[in-house]
Amino acid sequence: MRLRRDGGHRGPFARLLGVRLLLDVQFWFPTWMIFLLGQGYSPLEAAAVDAVFHAALVIAEVPMGRVVDRIGRRRAMLAVCALTTVIFAGIGLVDSFWLMAVVWGVWGVLWALGSGLDTTYAWELAESRPGMIEPQRYLGWTRLAGGVAGLGSLLSAGLLLEIWPPLPYLVTSALGIAALLLALSLPEVRPLAAASAHGGVTTLREALRIPAVRTGIALGAIVLTVGISIRILFQPLGLRLGMDPMGISVSYALIAVAVAIGGWLASRIGRRHRGRWVSASIGLMAVSFLLVAPAMELDSSWLTMFVAIPLGAAAFGLGKTLTDIWLVESVGPHWRATVISIASAANGLAMVAIRPAIVVASDSTGIGSTFLLWGAASVVLCVLSIVLLGRSDPSSARPPLT
């Protein structure tokens, strides 16, 4: 990461990267179901707890996005760090189903609070210090930091679980404390309203009247829906191919790295080309899903879990970062986190119906056939994105002032 001008001003950029490294760990991702079942919860209770999380997430997305825009990025980051500490300690220590459901519900609210915060804080930190580093370039580095955190935590999650089942969650809680202490040294950012093409927008209704904002929300929801909905089958896919838990953990780590690399690549794409690369990212995800079925026919775990799936993950990171950039450049700082949260909420609502349908399809037609079906659906959504891009082009937006 190259920062221009006085090296003494690099501190905030490095510290925010450090906070991201501490917060973006994913010890919980490959272990949560195993952990809950091992703690004595039935499969139905584990599914119910997960449903509480997703319900809270969908309900809280837009309100929490507005909170982030109202209280400022620094305060929101401090709240995320503090809640991470409390919530993951709670997951590791509570032994009641109802208390666990409450904790997971609050976790959903935390997830919603963090939705868009990493993008807006990184962008506005760079935006408020013109001449140091371009906002989109710094955003790319924060994506890489998240990938490094994911890589280390996903590879070690199983080991921590074997040592003591609550340990992945207690380690996450401890890292939350470290992130909080580091975040206390971060500055508040107050970017100029003129730094975006529509910085004078004062209400959400006005923001949603901007064609580029509406298109960006739709594109963001499409990218999220295409990339995330099918993930519910990643672990069953690995098991179907005969992979052991360690092999699945390695594949998940590779997926995290691929998403990060895709996000970093997005930060190198110029404004004039972003629209076509959003559609290309959706198309690449569709191709990766369509490749899964023949790879399964070859009974090739490496081709499936280490080539096809990471290809789609990198495309997802590319598309997600591009749509985030689209939205932050389309609206002023008072509504950035809110509009990103609207895209996430739209995806959450879509997944309420899509994910159960994917599970039912995999049970009735098989995992390979379900990937084929979702690949075909993704092609349709890719075409839809091209239609949307014909109505609004991010290259027409006035670039940020520097």
User: 56-111 pLDDT, tens per residue?
Assistant: 999 999 999 999 999 999 999 999 999 999 999 999 999 999 999 999 999 999 99
What does CATH list as the number for 16-190? 1.20.1250.20
What is the C-alpha to C-alpha distance for residues 90 and 54, in angstroms, rounded to an integer? 18
| pLDDT of the residue at 2 | 57
Contact call for residues 326 and 116 (beta carbons, < 8 A) = no
CA separation (Å) from 91 to 84, 103, 157?
Answer: 11, 7, 15
State which amino acid sits at residue 215. T
In angstroms, rounded to a whole number, what is the distance separating the alpha carbons of residues 85 and 332? Answer: 31
Q: Which fold has domain 192-395?
A: Growth Hormone; Chain: A; (1.20.1250)
Through-space distance between the first and last CA atoms of the chain, rounded to whole angstroms: 19
CATH 1.20.1250.20 in the chain, residue ranges: 16-190, 192-395
C-alpha to C-alpha distance for 142 and 375, rounded to whole angstroms: 30
What confidence score (pLDDT) does residue 31 get?
85
Q: Which of 23, 316, 27 is nearest to 154 (CA)?
A: 27
Q: How large is the C-alpha radius of gyration of the chain?
A: 20
Question: Looking at this protein, which amino acid is placed at residue 213?
Answer: V
pLDDT tens for each residue of 312-344: 999 999 999 999 999 999 998 889 999 999 999
- One-letter amino acid at 101 equals A
Which amino acid would we find at residue 94? V
- The count of residues in the chain is 402
Q: Taking the complete model, does pTM exceed 0.85, yes or no? A: yes
Can you list the pairs that 302-309 forms with residues at least 24 positions away whose Cβ atoms lie under 8 Å?
304/237, 304/241, 305/237, 305/238, 305/241, 305/243, 305/247, 305/248, 305/251, 305/254, 306/251, 306/254, 309/234, 309/237, 309/251, 309/255
pLDDT at res. 391: 73
Low-confidence ranges of the chain (pLDDT < 50): 7-8, 193-194, 395-402
CB 133 within 8 A of CB 4: yes
- Give the pLDDT score at 399: 41
Backbone angles phi, psi at 269, to 5 degrees: -90, 130
Q: Which residue has the tokens 């609070």?
A: 113
Which pLDDT score, from 0 to 100, does residue 198 have?
53
* pLDDT value at residue 333: 87
268 C-beta neighbours (distance < 10 Å), count: 9
Number of helices (H) and strands (E), helices first, in the chain? 17, 0
Tokens representing residue 114 in the block: 């963090």
Please report the pLDDT score of residue 312 as a whole number: 97
Give Cβ neighbours of residue 344 (< 8 Å, ≥ 6 apart). Answer: 61, 112, 115, 116, 220, 221, 224
Cβ neighbour number for residue 297 with a 10 Å cutoff: 9
Amino acid of residue 187: P
- Could you give the angle at which helices 11-23 and 135-163 cross, rounded to 10 degrees? 30
Helices assigned H by DSSP within 267-308? 274-297, 301-303
State the residue for tokens 């991201």.
Answer: 20
